[in-house]
Amino acid sequence: MIEPCTPWSRRFLAAASLLALAAVPVRAADTVTQDRLLNADKEEGNWIHHHKSFAGHRFSTLTQINRDTVKNLKVAWTLQLGGIEGGGIWSHGGLEGTPIVENGFMYVTDGWGSVYKIDTRGGDGKLLWKMDPKTDKEWAGAVACCGVNNRGVALWGDFVVSHTLDGRLIATNKETGQVAWQRQVADPDKSETITGAPLIVKDMAISGVGGAEYGIRGWIAATDLKTEKEVWRTFTIPGKGEPGSETWKGPNDAAVSGGGSTWVTGTYDPATDLIIWGIGNPGPDWDNAYRPGDNLYTDSTLALDATTGKIKWHFQHTPNDPYDYDSVSENLLVDAGGRKLAIEADRNGFAYAVDRTNGQFVWATPFVKKVTWTRGINPDTGKPFEYDPSKDVQTYIAANTPSAQNKTADFCPGNMGGKNWPPTSYNPNLQLWYIPVIESCNRVTHEAMTTASLKPREFFTGGGPTNPFRITGSVTAIDVKTGKVAGKHETPFPLLGGMLSTPDLVFTGEPSGGVMALDAKTLDKLWEFRTGGGVNAPPMTFSVDGKQYIAILVGLGGAWDKWFIDSTPELKSIQPGSTLYVFAL
């Protein structure tokens, strides 16, 4: 366990700086309690969870902006943010966060984890304070696999709770912007980083970790926000003798470096007291012969007892994954067809529904246009048809699987996934689930790993990708009653930012700079605005003083412009930026 306030964290606590432009008193009613978080959807004009609610729907009941009025949507105001600096292997930071809004006050982060408080009342945006955590950019950026990113904050009590890329959890006073306390949760010395927003459950901040490409051992950890101490830490790669350890075979003790990172914010089911979280890829990514066995709990949906962190159930999507198909995506909690479901759009190109009370498989359906790594998912087991439990190393469709016998393989979807981290949304009225899709294939060259290949703070991947194929995208709607695709809106570029839904609209952004609204039923485009920057973040909506707004961060970062840009050459002209856009009628 990493104790609070290590010498390293004290060094940066002392260096934390504050820009205090104004002070706005915090009313007692503004204190964020567990009861408010449980009933977040009743606060129609606010957005106080990362995913809007514990269920993760990213759905708002606000209707002022609707199918008839959306054509009149205009820019209300913009605000320039910072955090564009590079560090480590990255030339610049990007924006992937979801703004949090409470009673007209907005909290956003830039890629380096600086927190901004903005007063949105009066129809414009006034910066009240900025908390700069003074992250060591070179140290953390050197092991940030996939960009300088921070996906947002959480609210608890009178504090704004956030993460930094170098692995800290910080509680900032909501009124003053001063850091109240911080503790080291992840360790970049081990190549651990944090990019996700915290999930607040029962006065605990739940943190995930990134770093599977560097041979870390993944975990999910809970910090008591009252005592500032760790409550539990559950490793996603079981230790020797623990349930699931038998799925790591061979002489390499591969579980030690097994990956299983948890870098996307999960969801919480109060009825069962379960935290439901997506688990990333095993390591090394493309040499599955190094790690014989199914490699639990990688590429899985995991349910944890919120109080103890104990694993209650799991469902694995791609055993012994040779494709880098994380299952790190958020799980939405929906009730449909008489079942209590957790639904997840997997990087392997299939959308899954499992019973969220016990992890039992319910259905799976492809949401991308092209899948070549498997013939499909067995409706009885939920496993790929080619999966052979008697084999320790899976080949699936051998011609499309990188291996020692097949050094170079093309497969679809590519390793960036049919969907990556950008969040989905769900309209409970229509029972339609909207997925931001990457319609992709790519080529991977296999490299055999040895124990000598595993070195601190160096990539441990078992090969690497190239991208000779054009990559596009779509918004794909799934009918959760049937588990079938209900519609698809094609886009010229992959969707890298995520979704927002309202009763009759769906909003998303494109890396080429467009923000658009689609009809929730037909997926016809009803409105579009060109921001002039790349969109790599999901939209959200809120209301203040009786007026509804749409907000989105604009500034292309992440992994795309470093690892995948050759598949979308037009995006090479998109310049780095860091801007908050807010729209209204």
Residues with catalytic roles: 324
Beta-carbon count within 10 A of 66 CB: 17
- Three-class HEC string of 343-389: EEECCCCEEEEEECCCCCEEEEEECCCCCCCCCCECCCCCCECCCCC
| Residue 177 CB contacts under 8 Å (≥ 6 apart), including other chains | 18, 19, 20, 115, 117, 128, 129, 130, 131
Amino acid at the residue 368:
V
For residue 57 the two structure tokens come to 């729907």
As a whole number of angstroms, the distance between CA 420 and CA 255 comes to 24
Q: Phi/psi of residue 116, each to 5°?
A: -115, 130
Q: In terms of Cα–Cα distance, which of 294, 300, 303, 325 is closest to 315?
A: 300
- Is residue 272 classed as helix, strand or coil in its secondary structure? coil
Helices (H) and strands (E) in the chain, counts: 3, 36
Strand partners, 28: none
- DSSP-derived secondary structure for 21-74: S---PPPGGG-B-HHHHHTGGGSTT-B-STTSSTT---B----SS-TTTGGG-E
As a whole number of angstroms, the distance between CA 217 and CA 235 comes to 7
- Three-class HEC string of 292-331: CCCCCCCCEEEEEECCCCCEEEEEECCCCCCCCCCECCCC
Strand partners, 519: 505
Q: Contact 259/191 with Cβ under 8 angstroms?
A: no
Q: In terms of Cα–Cα distance, which of 184, 182, 126 is closest to 159?
A: 182
Q: Contact 499/540 with Cβ under 8 angstroms?
A: no
CB-count burial class (<10 Å; 0-12, 13-18, 19+) for 390: exposed
Amino acid at the residue 579:
T
- CA distances 30 to 152, 159, 554, Å, are 19, 10, 28
Q: Contact 549/541 with Cβ under 8 angstroms?
A: yes
- Is residue 138 classed as helix, strand or coil in its secondary structure? helix
Q: In terms of Cα–Cα distance, which of 364, 335, 334, 338 is closest to 352?
A: 364
Strand partners, 234: 220
For residue 260 the two structure tokens come to 């299983």
